A and B are shown apart, each in its own frame.
Chain A
């Protein structure tokens, strides 16, 4: 699932480079505050372990093919999210430099797709609530398989979005998604099974190793439930949104006889309109290419609309980000109240 430079535009590659670099910077700050040299060495050696473990192939029964362990979720369980992210990022850098797996510009995307989702989404929100302290075999299996699959699917979806937004490939978004998702679902299930088997072995022989991932307090179900609900509403229910005019459009139509007011044709309005046209990644909650004139006599479109899904999810994520940032600002400004 490594992205290649040739499929990315400089803008998308640069954006994800900046995002990955920012997360690496944040992770190093979190880790530096612990000032534990032994964990730094453990991270380095476990990074090397990932290379070694990927060499050991296993046959997949019934398929005639073989697979190998990815290692993202395993590292998150052993090291916690921040250290696992740094370790995975270093593994990806070595793979890019020495094995030409991916490219230099694509490194930011690869770090985001293959390290961020297992460490910061799959492990805290899926693995930990399900697997708990890894004492129950069934919960460990369910947690490992679900988390590994989810992490891989999210990474694969991210690859599709990055490629589509770069505009270099002619593959339609829907076709690309339909190709990538089932394939990575199968890969994720196999990865989850192997991860579960490794963790089961470790839990029986060296259970103390599994205590290394407890760097976050146990997350509740409220936040993940809200995230899932937001994604469902933004990504799926938005397809069925009413196409009738909203309150403002209705009022304008009643008052002026037109659906929208005429925009004045002066320089400022024209300039701002051209800026908006260029900057809008998802104009009118859809993809740009869909705005070209559709040929006549086409079949009516199905309600499944990828552009609307992406707009809905992107909008939801931005709102959450703004709300979280505002909350952090307010928290810092509010004076501490003494205990009663």
Chain B
């Protein structure tokens, strides 16, 4: 089935919960690659490349996000660069130290795992992600919580952006941007949020909401799903061993 817009233009051949389990396995295998094994990390980059090419997701937004690597990661990679100065091998006489390799592996692992995660979540509508979590046995309250946070974060961030803009338009030379005034803004947003929550609950209760958004389906994993996960596992083991 084809979807328009931001989601799939090529359907994944697996069910949603199977895809989540395969993604988790993939993360474990990628992160088990030893600290000096750059080839292993590059080999595992095949998975996000496959996702991008198969689902025709736009790569540029993900690339922009990946380029903004966490300063914490860069700090840790730089730490390895400085502390591990033993030469592993030489390239045209230039010594390549263990720190260079391990630092590159840290950054590469971050990019590979994040691109896999971003491409996966971009190809699955959030309501289906919630359904898949329920099918995996995640508690209903937590899934409901995730969906409510996802839904209302757009509304509230818009409201916060308007408050921020109003403050910026009324402030001169940095006045009104200190912590005390900001705390009052946040406090006022908090009070409006709780009033909004009451109205939302009354609207939902009028439509039959009690404690969760959907009853918990109890469907065990089928043989086909188990077989798919087993195939993915074997493939990851082969890549891990070979590279």
Contacts and interface: CB of A to CB of B under 8 A. Distances in A.
B222 to A, nearest CB: 24
A198 B113 contact: no
Interface residues of B, number: 82
Q: Which of B107, B174, B193, B212 has the most CB of A within 10 A?
A: B193
B179 A194 contact: yes
Interface residues of A, number: 74
**B interface, by DSSP: helix, strand, loop or mixed?**
helix
Contacts of B219: none
A24 B139 contact: yes
Interface stretch (A98-106, A134-142, A225-233, A331-339): A98-106
A90 interface: yes
B187 A202 contact: yes
Contact of A94 (B102, B140, B150, B181): B150
B65 A6 contact: no
Interface of A: 1-2, 4-10, 13-14, 24-25, 28, 31-32, 35, 37-38, 40-49, 51-53, 55-61, 67, 69, 86-87, 89-91, 93-94, 96-98, 100-101, 103-105, 163, 167-172, 190, 193-194, 197-198, 200-202, 205-206, 209
Give 5 nearest A-B pairs by CB, closest first.
A44-B148, A197-B183, A201-B187, A58-B182, A48-B152
23 contacts: A5-B31, A6-B31, A6-B113, A7-B76, A10-B28, A32-B141, A41-B209, A42-B197, A42-B198, A44-B147, A48-B148, A52-B157, A52-B193, A89-B142, A97-B129, A101-B70, A103-B110, A103-B117, A171-B83, A197-B179, A200-B183, A202-B187, A209-B194
Interface of B: 23-24, 27-28, 30-32, 35, 65-66, 70, 72-73, 76, 79-80, 83-84, 99, 102, 105-107, 109-110, 113-114, 117-118, 121, 129, 139-142, 144-153, 155-157, 159-161, 163-164, 174, 177-191, 193-194, 196-198, 200-201, 204-205, 209-212
Given A52-B159, A56-B182, 11 more contacts: A31-B141, A42-B197, A53-B189, A56-B163, A89-B142, A91-B149, A100-B117, A105-B31, A163-B76, A194-B186, A201-B187
